[in-house]
Amino acid sequence: MAEGFILADEPRLFDRLEAQPSDSLLALIGLAKADTRPEKIDVGVGVYRDAAGGTPILRCVKAAEKILLETQETKSYLGSEGDARFTELIKPIVFGGQGARDDRIVGVQTPGGCGALRLGAELIRASGGGTRIYVGQPTWPNHTPLIGAAGVEMADYPYYDKTTRTVLFDHMMEALGAARPGDVVLVHGCCHNPTGADLDLNQWRELADLIAARGLVPYVDLAYQGLGNGLEDDAAGTRLVVEAAEQALVAQSCDKNFGLYRERTGALFIKASSTDQARVTFGNLIGLARTMWSMPPDHGAAIVRTVLETPELEADWRAELKEMLARIRGLRARLAAFDPRLAYIDEQNGMFSMLPLSPEAVVELRASHGIYMANSGRFNVAGLSDENVDYFARAVVAKLPEADRG
């Protein structure tokens, strides 16, 4: 650039940027990686691990990739909706047979559950009307920044008491009872992250009744289907609230139940009030997706499509998913049996639970035992190996607050 066009004291473009706080969970992953102690335990990162502590590629995924290697003829663009067949095959898994036939429900492939959540938030913002999104507390750490960055108004509702380890259902319903018609309620479909404390089926029914009575819009984050109590049971609450509502959103992810973490494979489904409105909504989804990622990555969706289109691979996927579920349930049972103060863990579901530990106690566990978990006490049950469960439990119990020591 010619000299003299910019004054010497004028800040240049990137000079105006301010330093950003680091993501606490990403920082935790870095700390765990840097720790050279052989006994260290990383239960901060949200990935499934097998008995030996590895994160395996599923057999069905390997087989599907081999099929794709031998048969895939092009890497050409698929379009902003992604792999339409993938979305079609996922739809009955999420909504059941009746829901799969509902033309008011439309979906597009997204870059993982995160992409689905953000696309849904963008659709809500584009819809206008001053809609608020109610978010339970505590929730997955990225929910609020991921959705809030779309520019929608957000409001909290109480969900879980870390001290008593109970769902604050009455408080939740009271808060949602003040929501305006058209407001959105973000709920975890199953395996509540970060607490592991799910609503029971009767509570889901009450929530569905409230949603229907007040004209609310459920926004279900379904990231762990199959890892709580099985594919069908884990979808039951989602189906209840979607059926009760005139309009709904469901952000679905295959990252956990297919082990496709780095492939970022998900879908956003929208239930509209009519088939005509569903077509309009679908067009808006395509337009919004085009402005964000243009077209989602294909490989993960192609894997899932291949698995679900191949009967023997689908059967193997369901078998592997049951094996993963059994391992998680077994780990929960072992932790609960170690000490009565951990008994509540076996009553919860999915990969995560929350320990009643102070941030100071979490830091002490990190320093003295090489145990890495979020400062909130959120830990990944599935991050434990068969060999370190007792080591983890013993260290944790020693740090429980006095009120929990009996």
Q: Catalytic site residue 293?
A: no
Q: Catalytic residue, from 221, 255, 298, 316: name it.
A: 221
Calpha distance 328→69 (Å, rounded)? 32
Q: Which of 32, 91, 121, 256 is catalytic?
A: 256
* Cα 317 to Cα 308: distance, rounded to the nearest angstrom: 9
Residue of 64, 179, 223, 361 marked active site: 223
51 classed as catalytic:
no
SS3 assignment for 153-182: EEEEEECEECCCCEECHHHHHHHHCCCCCC
CA dist 405 and 336 (Å) reads 15
Residue in this structure with the two tokens 């926004």, named with its chain if needed: 219
Active-site residue, 317 included: no
Please give, one letter per residue, the 3-state secondary structure of the chain.
CCCCCCCCCCCCHHHHCCCCCCCHHHHHHHHHHHCCCCCCEECCCCCCCCCCCCCCCCHHHHHHHHHHHHHCCCCCCCCCCCCHHHHHHHHHHHHHHHHHCCCCEEEEEEEHHHHHHHHHHHHHHHHCCCCEEEEEECCCCCHHHHHHCCCCEEEEEECEECCCCEECHHHHHHHHCCCCCCCEEEEECCCCCCCCCCCCHHHHHHHHHHHHHHCCEEEEEECCCCCCCCHHHHHHHHHHHHHHCCCEEEEEECCCCCCCHHHCEEEEEEECCCHHHHHHHHHHHHHHHHHHCCCCCCHHHHHHHHHHHCHHHHHHHHHHHHHHHHHHHHHHHHHHHHCHHHHHHHHCCCCEEECCCCHHHHHHHHHHHCEECCCCCEEEHHHCCCCCHHHHHHHHHHCCCHHHCC
Token pair for 296? 């989602």
The question of whether 256 is a catalytic residue gets the answer yes
Catalytic residue among 116, 140, 251, 316: 140
Catalytic sites, residue numbers: 140, 221, 223, 256
